[in-house]
Amino acid sequence: MTDIPAIYQGKLNTLDQITVSPLSRAYTFSDSIYEVIPYFLGKPLCLKEHFNRMIQGSNLMSLNVDFDSVNNDIKKLAATLINQDGYIYYQISRGVDMIRSHMYQDDLEIERFGYAMPVSFPSSSVSAMLCTDDRWGKCNIKSTSLLSNVLAMNKAKSLGCQEVVMHRDGFMTEGGSSNVFYFDSSGSVRTSSLSENILPGITRSILIEALKDTPYSVKEGNCAVSDFNESPCIWLTSSTKGILPLSSLIGTDYKFEENFDNYMDVAELFNSAMQSHLAASE
Ligand SMILES: Cc1ncc(COP(=O)(O)O)c(C=O)c1O
């Protein structure tokens, strides 16, 4: 961990050398948003889309961010990932507030923090646990307030799972750190429509676009969790997972058909869309 490049308030350093005040509102109130931008052989996947989501999140939180500085920070971090797979984690908080109060001071300096982590991305199937979605009402904001996700995902971990699939009143919302798609019993590809109940995933939109005008074009809408009992394949999408099928889903009668041809087609369409995005990326 000592040599992970990291940046705080525009100053490049290593992760272990960065010190942050305990009165950072990211620390006291999770008053912050974040992004995870994947890099493949040093090239970002959909950087502009991640940037735009950060701008939308900032607007929804009334954070007055200097996005030229954010851009410079991300460029500095990206320069450390030359020819490598990995991701940039980037967080923006409202700032260090000397009085711990829910109501923030008006003159806080926005806090910018990020690091570049070289990793190889997973490609094998994962198991998940179905659970109720206990999160707040604005899950479209990529906030660092993730306590509900943390509790649910660690319960899933204790059952040998790597993810959760959440639902509200019997209708699937999303995963703990991913969006969820599946084939229903009539062969359609389904996912939850965008709302304040889910994060508008960048990988989700790459996949939906890739499947447009193919036999697998995605039906967005209400997704009853009872559909999972008849589904041959459920899968996750996220920046670090890409597209990953579920081998099991505890709490349902889901039976994964490994090597299900239609899923293989979907994965191929996704991978070629991803390659086109990367080819177009600077
Ligand atoms: C709750 C949640 N939903 C969906 C996603 C997937 O979003 P993306 O594809 O932009 O990584 C994430 C990613 O971290 C997430 O945390």
Residue 192 phi, psi dihedral angles, 5° rounding: -70, 140
Task: Answer yes or no: is the C-beta of 252 below 6 A from any ligand 1 atom.
Answer: no
The predicted structure's pLDDT at residue 2: 66
pLDDT by residue (tens digit) across 170-215?
999 999 999 999 999 999 999 999 999 999 999 999 999 999 999 9
Q: Who contacts 32 (Cβ-Cβ below 8 Å, separation ≥6)?
A: 25, 26, 91, 92, 93, 94, 111, 143, 144
Q: What is the rounded average pLDDT for all residues in the chain?
A: 97
Q: Which residues pair with 5 in a beta bridge?
A: 14
Task: Answer yes or no: is the C-beta of 238 below 6 A from any ligand 1 atom.
Answer: yes
Q: What's the CA-to-centroid distance between 204 and ligand 1, angstroms?
A: 8
Which of 191, 70, 197 is CA-nearest to residue 141? Answer: 197
Q: What's the CA-to-centroid distance between 4 and ligand 1, angstroms?
A: 23
- Which atom of ligand 1 is the closest one to the Cα of 176? 1
Residue having the nearest C-alpha atom to atom 2 of ligand 1: 177
Task: Answer yes or no: is the C-beta of 163 below 6 A from any ligand 1 atom.
Answer: no
Angstrom distance (rounded) from CA 237 to CA 205:
10
Q: Is the predicted pLDDT of residue 165 greater than 90, yes or no? A: yes
Residue having the nearest C-alpha atom to atom 5 of ligand 1: 178
pLDDT by residue (tens digit) across 46-101?
999 999 999 999 999 999 999 999 999 999 999 999 999 999 999 999 999 999 99
Angstrom distance (rounded) from CA 273 to CA 216:
14
- Residue 123: pLDDT band (50, 70, 90) is confident
Q: What's the CA-to-centroid distance between 207 and ligand 1, angstroms?
A: 13
Q: Which CATH superfamily is domain 126-279 in?
A: D-amino Acid Aminotransferase, subunit A, domain 2 (3.20.10.10)
Residues forming CATH 3.20.10.10 domain(s) in the chain: 126-279
What fold does the segment set 5-118 form as a domain? D-amino Acid Aminotransferase; Chain A, domain 1 (3.30.470)
Q: Which two tokens stand for residue 183?
A: 């084939």
Residues forming CATH 3.30.470.10 domain(s) in the chain: 5-118
Task: Answer yes or no: is the C-beta of 5 below 6 A from any ligand 1 atom.
Answer: no
- Which atom of ligand 1 is the closest one to the Cα of 149? 1
pLDDT by residue (tens digit) across 24-47?
999 999 999 999 999 999 999 999
Task: Answer yes or no: is the C-beta of 178 below 6 A from any ligand 1 atom.
Answer: yes
